[in-house]
Amino acid sequence: MLVARQNGELVVKGNPEHPVTRGFVCNRGRSHPARLASAKRLTTPLVRRGRSFREVDWNTAIDEVVAPLSAALEVSPLSIVLVAGGGSLAVSKLCVNHFFNSLGPITSLRGGVCDECGAEAQRRDFGNKCAHDYLDLENARSVVLWGRNPMVCSPHLVPFINAARREGKPIVLVDIRRSESAVLADR
């Protein structure tokens, strides 16, 4: 993404030189400036007290998090268990992992009920990578979208699927419902 300030406001544009996005920015990316400027944006920590939340200063909020972690670390770093799913595979997940790794040898769970099984199969079949590079679709003889909805979840993939279709490669969608991506598939 290319981010600039125009007339005092943040503007997000796609980078036309990026080999995957080719200048496209998804709805989430385009909405960042509005979200950051929103009057509803939380800018002060909130701490639950009973059934409601109250504003506290940053030092108080940090102390509320640090106190139970410090108590657990005094017993043993292994008494802390990190349970993290695949919900955020980007920077925020890396930050969580880095934070907990900085505490010492904590216990973390492996596996899960979401995409972890697919990720392990991918790793065993193709190596330690989350997914194929989109550019690798040029080498495919066909494209199978198994339980994927790139029209909604992977918009950067759509131009590569369309290019594969233009080259005569069959596009197959396997899904339990007629998703938005059905328009991409030959069958």
Tell me the whole-structure pTM to 2 decimals.
0.48
Cβ atoms of 152 and 178 closer than 8 Å = no
* Distance in angstroms (rounded) separating the CA atoms of residues 108 and 121: 20
What DSSP character marks residue 140?
-
pLDDT for 22 equals 86
Cα–Cα distances in angstroms (integers) from residue 22 to residues 8, 57, 101, 115, 157, in the given order: 26, 43, 36, 27, 11
pLDDT for 95 equals 78
Full pLDDT tens readout for the chain, 187 residues: 899 999 988 889 999 998 888 898 887 788 889 888 889 888 899 988 888 999 999 999 999 888 888 888 888 877 777 766 555 555 666 777 788 888 777 776 666 555 666 677 777 777 766 566 788 888 888 898 888 888 988 888 899 999 999 999 999 999 888 889 999 998 7
* Distance in angstroms (rounded) separating the CA atoms of residues 157 and 151: 8
